[in-house]
Amino acid sequence: MIVEYIRYELKQHQPHDLITAYRQAGLQLQAAPQCLGYELSHCVEEPSSLTLRILWTSTDDHLQGFRKGPHFPPFLAAIRPFIGEIAEMRHYETTDVQWQR
């Protein structure tokens, strides 16, 4: 499993605009077999900062499967207005250091 983090620093849009866009884009993530889950978090200290966390089966499945598959074009259409406000977009491997109640 790979975790992708996309950090947005909004300067041209309001947080509710991005949240609304991901409600629509999320339908495509849910339909994609390469996606295992996602969450969009809104920063409390810096309201213009939001981070999307997406769980992928692998980096290759994301880049070659999802991005070249039928769910990517409508996903991209929903979030296209916000692409210029992406501050970071990277893939991470999880470690064994984790805990959740």
At 79 the pLDDT is 98
Q: Determine the 3-state secondary structure of 40 from DSSP.
A: strand
The model's pTM is 0.94
At 3 the pLDDT is 98
List Cβ<8 Å contacts ≥24 apart for 28-31: 28/71, 28/72, 28/74, 28/75, 28/78, 29/54, 29/71, 29/75, 31/71
Q: Which residues contact 94 (CB under 8 A, 6 or more apart)?
A: 1, 3
At 25 the pLDDT is 98
At 4 the pLDDT is 98
CA distance 5 to 53: 5
At 69 the pLDDT is 98
Q: Determine the 3-state secondary structure of 44 from DSSP.
A: coil
> Mean pLDDT per segment of 10 residues, for the chain of length 101 residues?
98 98 98 98 97 98 98 98 98 94 92
**Domains of the chain and CATH, by start:** 2-93 (3.30.70.100)
At 78 the pLDDT is 98
At 50 the pLDDT is 98
